Amino acid sequence: MPGLRFTLNGAAVTAGDAPPTTTLLDWLRARGLSGTKEGCAEGDCGACTVVLEDGDSRRPINACLCVLGQLHGRAVRTVEGLGRAHPVVQAMAQGGATQCGFCTPGIVMAAWAWTREGGDPHAALAGNLCRCTGYRPILDALATMADDGAAAPAAVPDSARFGGFHLPATLKEALALRAQHPQAMLLMGGTDLGLRFSEHRERPDTVICLLNVAEMQGVAATRDGQRIGAAAPYAEWLAACRADARFAALVPYLERLGSRQIRALGTVAGNLGTASPIGDALPVLLALDAEVETSARRLPVAAFLTGYRRNALTPGELIVAIHLPAPPAGALLAAEKLSRRHDQDISAVSLAACVEFMGGVVSRARLAFGGMAATALRAPEAEAALLGRALDDAAAQAAGAALRFTPMDDHRASAAYRLEAARGLLRRLALRHTHPELPAEVHA
Ligand SMILES: Cc1cc2nc3c(=O)[nH]c(=O)nc-3n(C[C@H](O)[C@H](O)[C@H](O)COP(=O)(O)OP(=O)(O)OC[C@H]3O[C@@H](n4cnc5c(N)ncnc54)[C@H](O)[C@@H]3O)c2cc1C
Ligand code: FES
Ligand code: FES
């Protein structure tokens, strides 16, 4: 595919004959760049981690979920692009942080991104599995690493077409393509759809990739809250919440959405598009009465989610942005996620809450759960049970008793467990309010 080009390890490359729906992982390995490993091919193990570079920014991504078409005009670095002498590689070797070595290239790339991005080193490795070394020496090695200061060219995402793979750069272009190809796959970060390329080996004839659409870019702080562009990855939303005290309560929750690799590409719009009952963004959007801006209208998230993996999008309609109001001053905003593992796991149950007070008692409560029904949804009976009461353990228990859900019963959790867990999350909410000094979660 002559026109499809990106920067790989600092040098311009073209995709050659490879279809644009080839995963980056397959393409790299076919070119002999076999440092990037395949463990799971579904975004879970991190063995395929490479880094998306954009000027000063470095974001680790899963090469197994990402396809070549998404990379046009961007820059990627693989472990070969660091080389044996690189201080991050040396730190791993000298720290005894590698045994069989299968996970090591992925860990090296996640670590290299972390030396620039910073933050909790444990969290930086949440998307990387190591089965033989144990994480202690790996974390010790990370502690000796420093940013090498290298910068990459800035991304030049423009409008392009490679056979049936379209990269529109404006909403107008995207809508015209959608009208022309009503059956085309609409691709954003690909952290849901990528499995169809990697695991199911699908090669759809027509793909409209929305990553470059100008109207869908960025997260902007507004007077009322945030405008989250449909193409803005979770990493940008998380950064915006860190920078805005009104949304700071969402930070620990968003840090548990997937891994850094997933958050580098996955989007809120994709969560809405998939409309899974355990989509982690959805309870937050419901608890804050967010609105979805589509190419045709603006509608409340509650009206957008119409059933199990169903939404209100009509043929030809695209999600452009999400408008997320800030909680009113003095309100308690909280989001909780229960999953079998703390990191990189899908929720069994989640709760997002926005509780307002007047004279020390609850004047308005918005409680939205994930994992409790066919779609994420509010719990009006539990909300009513809190009204006029102090938000304490007794009130939380009353709200829990009022829950009217018939939860899902599947391999992740039984219906009985989910109901019990949802009640527990309400008590945790009250605990956060009455005893903000206590840790609401205990870590090993
Ligand atoms: C390892 C792993 C861990 C994960 N962990 C979590 C987790 O902890 N919590 C969680 O909620 N999810 C998780 N996910 C799922 C996934 O990351 C999210 O659902 C994410 O929000 C999908 O966004 P995306 O941009 O990658 O969507 P894509 O895969 O590109 O698309 C998803 C759907 O949305 C549609 N769509 C996307 N953009 C638009 C638009 N602008 N207009 C119309 N339709 C659109 C697509 O057509 C498609 O149907 C995980 C996935 C993996 C692989
Ligand atoms: S191969 Fe496991 S995350 Fe990509
Ligand atoms: S060193 Fe063997 S899996 Fe990590």
Residue keyed to tokens 């603006």 = 298
Which residue type sits at 386?
A: L
Burial of 239 (0-12, 13-18, 19+ CB in 10 A): middle
The answer to whether the CB of 187 is under 6 A from ligand 1 is yes
Alpha carbon distance 209, 184 (integer Å)? 10
213 CA: nearest ligand 1 atom: 41
Give tens-digit pLDDT for 197-212. Answer: 988 888 999 999 999 9
Per-residue pLDDT tens over the stretch 198-255: 888 889 999 999 999 999 999 999 999 999 999 999 999 999 999 999 999 999 999 9
> Does residue 411 have a pLDDT over 50?
yes
- Beta bridge partners of residue 185, listed in sequence order: 207
pLDDT at 443 over 70: no
Measure CA of the first residue to CA of the last residue in the chain; give whole Å.
Answer: 50
In angstroms, rounded to a whole number, what is the distance separating the alpha carbons of residues 347 and 349? 5
Enumerate domains of the chain plus CATH numbers. Answer: 1-156 (3.10.20.30), 157-326 (3.30.465.10), 332-434 (3.30.390.50)
Amino acid letter, 211: L
Which residues, judged by CB distance below 6 Å to any ligand atom, belong to the binding site of ligand 2? 38-41, 43-48, 62, 64
At 76 the three-state DSSP class reads: strand
Query: Which of 170, 186, 192 has most ligand 1 atoms within 8 Å of CB, for mutation?
Result: 192
Amino acid 168: pLDDT: 98
- CA 27-150-71 angle, to 5 degrees, is 30
With a 6 Å cutoff on the Cβ, whether 186 touches ligand 1 is yes
Rounded CA-CA distance 232/204 in Å is 24
Tokens (6 digits) for 292:
């979805």
**Can you tell me the distance from the alpha carbon of 26 to that of 109, in angstroms, rounded to the nearest whole number?**
18
Q: What share of the chain is helix, strand, coil (3-state, %, to 5)?
A: 35, 20, 45
The H-or-E segment that residue 216 falls in is none
Task: Give the containing element (helix H, strand E) for 113.
Answer: helix 104-117
What amino acid occupies position 371?
G
Evaluate if residue 34 carries a pLDDT over 90. Answer: yes
- Verify whether ligand 3 is closer than 6 Å to residue 96 (CB atom): no
Residue 1 has pLDDT above 60, yes or no: no
Is the confidence at residue 444, as pLDDT, over 60? no
Task: Please report how the helices 135-143 and 104-117 are oriented relative to each other, as an axis angle in degrees rounded to 10.
Answer: 40
pLDDT digits (tens, 9 = 90+) for 300-327: 999 999 999 999 999 999 999 999 999 9
Q: What single letter denotes the amino acid at residue 130?
A: C
Tell how strand 305-307 and strand 298-300 pair up.
unpaired
Mean residue pLDDT of the chain comes to 95
- Does position 439 have pLDDT exceeding 80, yes or no? no
From 91-100, 115-124, 147-156, the region with the lowest mean pLDDT: 147-156
Ligand approaching nearest to the C-alpha of 98: 3
| Strands 75-77 vs 160-162: parallel, antiparallel or unpaired | unpaired
